[in-house]
Amino acid sequence: MAKTPIPLTGAITQIKVACNDCTLFQLCLPVGLDRHELDLLDSIIQRRRPIDRGESLFSMREKFRSLFAVRSGSLKTYTLTEDGREQVTGFHLPGELVGLDAIGTGAHGCTAQALETTSVCEIPFDRMEELWARIPVLPRQIIDVMSNAMREENSLVTLLGKKSAEERLASFLLNLSERFSRRGYSSREFNLSMSRNDIANYLGLAVETVSRLFSRLQEEGVLVVDSRFVGVNDLERLRALAGSGAGASGRSANNGVV
């Protein structure tokens, strides 16, 4: 059986706090800035206290004030249906931005909740606007990130509307594999911070279906599953199960921009 990797939170929290020294910088904030521009951006960023599992970073309909970059841990975002049920809209890993959806409306359209102890960098938006004249590339970077978010939202509609249950779960796991790889972690061994219920909710499946699919993929030798640990034994088979275009659909399974 594959070895369980070092927990994500334990490794990420060892990074330096300044933007220009942060190992996640190229994942969560604009690249191509000179040292002076980096210092300007770093001067407005606030490091908030860690939030505990189950605690909200911001809530649906809350007034928009800041963007947030996940430094360690992970978040889920969700909305509430008309009858009060929770609908999971995304999972967000270190280096990913949350809060972008509120820029146009002035209020958050979802709630962001910690799946484990999570640290974030807060970027007050009014202060960021002050920097736009001094860092001309910044507005374009924000537009690019928002454009990616819209494209990924469209990919999610395809994932939920046209793929089978097995393709949905395979696409989701493939996306996580790719995102962990971009952060310097193993693409074949990772821990799921989200519950089976959250995964099922996000993918539009019954939790029993998700559990059955995990068991089937393990029986077929594609995965090794031990509680929340997932080992990918056959990455090519997982890609095949995800179907064509899995990479794009996978990013909608969350590149973390919300």
Residue 225 banded pLDDT, cuts 50, 70, 90: very high
For residues 143 and 167, state if they share a domain: no
Residue ending a domain, choose from 152, 185, 211: 152
CA angle, residues 115, 116, 119, in degrees to nearest 5: 105
Domain of 246, CATH number, reads 1.10.10.10
Q: Reply yes or no on whether the pLDDT at 4 is more than 50.
A: no
For residues 120 and 65, state if they share a domain: yes
- Regarding predicted confidence, which is higher, 106 or 10? 106
Q: Among residues 197, 50, 193, 192, which one has the least CA distance to residue 115?
A: 193
The total of structural domains in the chain comes to 2
For residues 125 and 198, state if they share a domain: no
Q: Reply yes or no on whether the pLDDT at 252 is more than 50.
A: no
- What percent of the chain shows pLDDT beyond 70? 77
**In the chain, how many H helices and how many E strands?**
10, 11
For residues 84 and 172, state if they share a domain: no
- Cα 245 to Cα 17, 28, 205, 249: the distances in Å are 37, 24, 20, 6
For residues 99 and 34, state if they share a domain: yes
Q: Name which of 16-30, 124-138, 146-160, 212-226 the model is least confident about.
A: 16-30
The stretch 165-171 carries a mean pLDDT of 94
For residues 54 and 75, state if they share a domain: yes
> What pLDDT, on the 0 to 100 scale, is given for residue 183?
82
- Cα 177 to Cα 16, 123, 188, 195, 244: the distances in Å are 25, 28, 6, 17, 17
Tokens of 158: 């395809």
**DSSP letters spanning 69-91:** EEEES-EEEEEE-TTS-EEEEEE
Residue 36 banded pLDDT, cuts 50, 70, 90: confident
Q: Reply yes or no on whether the pLDDT at 10 is more than 60.
A: no
Beta bridge partners of 63: 107
Q: What is the pLDDT of residues 47-92, one digit of tens each?
A: 878 999 999 999 999 999 999 989 899 999 999 988 989 999 999 9
Q: How far is the C-alpha of 163 from the C-alpha of 205, rounded, in Å?
A: 11
Give this prediction's pTM.
0.80
Coil, strand, or helix at residue 172? helix
For residues 177 and 216, state if they share a domain: yes
- Cα 8 to Cα 5, 12, 111, 212, 250: the distances in Å are 8, 6, 23, 26, 20
Residue ending a domain, choose from 152, 171, 195: 152
For residues 46 and 169, state if they share a domain: no
Residue 43 banded pLDDT, cuts 50, 70, 90: confident
For residues 144 and 168, state if they share a domain: no
For residues 142 and 211, state if they share a domain: no
What angle do the packed helices 196-203 and 207-219 form, to 10 degrees? 100
> What pLDDT, on the 0 to 100 scale, is given for residue 52?
97
Tokens of 200: 């099922």
Residue 32 banded pLDDT, cuts 50, 70, 90: low
> What pLDDT, on the 0 to 100 scale, is given for residue 112?
97
As a whole number, the mean pLDDT across the chain is 81
Residue 157 banded pLDDT, cuts 50, 70, 90: low
Q: Structural domain of residue 140, as residue ranges? A: 8-152
Q: Reply yes or no on whether the pLDDT at 168 is more than 80.
A: yes
Q: How far is the C-alpha of 73 from the C-alpha of 91, rounded, in Å?
A: 11
